[in-house]
Amino acid sequence: MQKTTFFILSIILLLGCTEDRNIENNDVVIDPTSVLIHYWNFNTITGTQTLVNPDVTLLPLSGASISYPGSGAGYMDTFTPGYDSNLQNTEDAGSGLRARNPSDTRNLVMAVPTTGYKTIVVQFATAATSSGAQTQNYSYTVDGTNYSNEGLNTTTFNSTIDPIASLVSLDFTSITGVNNNPNFKIKISFTGSNASGTSGNNRFDNVTVKGIPVSTTPLYLLHYWNFNNLATGTLTNVNADISLLSTSTATIKYTGTGAGYMDQYTPGSALNLQNSDVAGLGLRFRNPSDTRNVIITAPTTGYKNVVMKFATARSSASGASIQNYSYSLDGVNFLTTGLATTTFNPNIDPSYDVITLDFSAIIGANNNPNFVVKINFGGTEASGISGNNRIDNVTFQANHI
């Protein structure tokens, strides 16, 4: 009897001394074909926050964000260390996001568009401080305005106390209105006697949104540039690293006049990497860039429903602040007709975004040996003598005809 009691006490003491322990509470099975649509790891932000964009997203212009609207003195800021639970892409537990009290007059709102995806599961690591709100309540909207918890597997959760974090899984797989929805949002409200307090907070880390692409037709990696084998010095022509057609016909050039040129940079970006590649090198387009164009020749012979993606950023405030996108069906004349994304304001390295140019509704892009994409640069910075724009991990995916 004494040995048994000693053993039990030893286990209690051992568990009580464990710091930063993450306890997972995940009974939701995620379809293995799901992909990571949005991901917040919060590792690159510090201080007070009003709107937090995802660290990784497949829908960069969709408005995905986390905010804390309402009234009162509550606000969002960061905490450290973050949690290990639900980490993606072999990342470290850096920092996390906390919603400070008073929290009963505010809601944490996750805008998580699912355009092009279905069978959605949202997960995040969470905990509270000892004086933080005891209960989190979950609801969602499919129209961006009206919230409900109908059909939701988990509608409320009593937070564990930091550093013990739990994994909350919100399963929307049976709620069809969430699928392929640009207006999908999740709301977290806070209750319990502590929620009205002037101290304490609830903490969140490693927020993921996963789903299955709506299209069931297999996508092939038609062309891919990872730039990891680029030569040093000025480059005039960069062939694709991988192509289902010919790496010599899939090319990137920086045509025009003036002193601008393209060369390699390091380190590259990990966004949109394929085939378990590493973030090695990337390609940069140096100013002055307003007199040049990036010409990406990408034949689609034998393929249809073409989607192009790439990671991009600018070097600093002196890099061109505007990228403009267009395409050509004859290799000569360029247009933007039918293209949902025609311009983008790149962030400053190392804050990369993944740009998606969807040509699937443009019939002329199918089965076209003359298909070309053009990027040109704007903003007052584009005429400067320093600064550059950077791209990495350029992919063209398509269905076989």
For residue 128, is it left (φ>0), alpha (ψ between -120 and 50) or beta?
Answer: beta
Percent of the chain at pLDDT exceeding 70: 93
**Which of 1-10, 38-47, 173-182, 320-329 has the lowest average pLDDT?**
1-10
CA distance 43 to 84: 12
CA distance 220 to 400: 7
Q: Using DSSP bridges, classify how beta strands 220-225 and 107-111 pair: parallel, antiparallel or unpaired.
A: unpaired
Superfamily of domain 220-400: Galactose-binding domain-like (2.60.120.260)
Segments of the chain assigned to CATH 2.60.120.260: 20-213, 220-400
Q: What is the DSSP letter of 88?
A: -
Average pLDDT over residues 340-361: 95
CA distance 365 to 369: 9
Higher pLDDT, 127 or 59: 127
Q: Give tens-digit pLDDT for 204-219.
A: 999 999 999 887 677 7
pLDDT above 50 (res 268): yes
Q: What is the pLDDT of residue 26?
A: 52
Q: What is the pLDDT of residue 216?
A: 63
CA distance 329 to 370: 6
Strands (E), 35-88: 35-40, 51-52, 56-57, 65-67, 76-79
Place of tokens 């004494």: 2
Q: What is the pLDDT of residue 18?
A: 35
Q: Could you tell me the pLDDT band of residue 58, with boundaries at 50, 70 and 90? A: confident
Strands (E), 13-163: 22-23, 35-40, 51-52, 56-57, 65-67, 76-79, 96-100, 107-111, 117-128, 135-141, 156-158
3-class state of residue 365 by DSSP = helix
What's the whole-number average pLDDT of the chain? 91
Place of tokens 């969709």: 62
**Which of 211-215, 264-268, 293-297, 350-354 has the lowest average pLDDT?**
211-215
Average pLDDT over residues 188-202: 97
pLDDT above 70 (res 245): yes
| pTM for this model (two decimals) | 0.56
CA distance 64 to 80: 23
Average pLDDT over residues 222-233: 97
Q: Give tens-digit pLDDT for 156-166.
A: 999 999 999 99
pLDDT above 60 (res 2): no
Q: Domain 20-213 carries which CATH code?
A: 2.60.120.260
Q: What is the pLDDT of residue 334?
A: 98
Q: Give tens-digit pLDDT for 78-121.
A: 999 999 999 987 888 999 999 999 999 999 999 999 988 999 99
Q: Could you tell me the pLDDT band of residue 1, with boundaries at 50, 70 and 90? A: very low
| C-alpha dihedral sign at 309, 311, 315, 317 | positive
Place of tokens 């290990």: 84
Residues sharing a CB contact under 8 Å with residue 241, sequence separation 6 or more, in sequence order: 224, 225, 226, 227, 228, 229, 247
Q: Give tens-digit pLDDT for 112-126.
A: 999 889 999 999 999
Residues sharing a CB contact under 8 Å with residue 388, sequence separation 6 or more, in sequence order: 265, 284, 285, 286, 287, 289, 314, 315, 319
pLDDT above 60 (res 17): no
| C-alpha dihedral sign at 326, 329, 331, 334 | negative
Distances (CA, A) of 355 to 42, 60, 205, 329, 400: 20, 6, 25, 21, 23
pLDDT above 50 (res 38): yes
CA distance 377 to 397: 25
pLDDT above 50 (res 5): no
**Which of 28-42, 96-110, 145-159, 284-298 has the lowest average pLDDT?**
28-42
Q: What is the pLDDT of residue 374?
A: 98
CA distance 205 to 264: 34
Q: Using DSSP bridges, classify how beta strands 201-213 and 96-100 pair: parallel, antiparallel or unpaired.
A: antiparallel
Distances (CA, A) of 337 to 102, 310, 325: 49, 20, 11
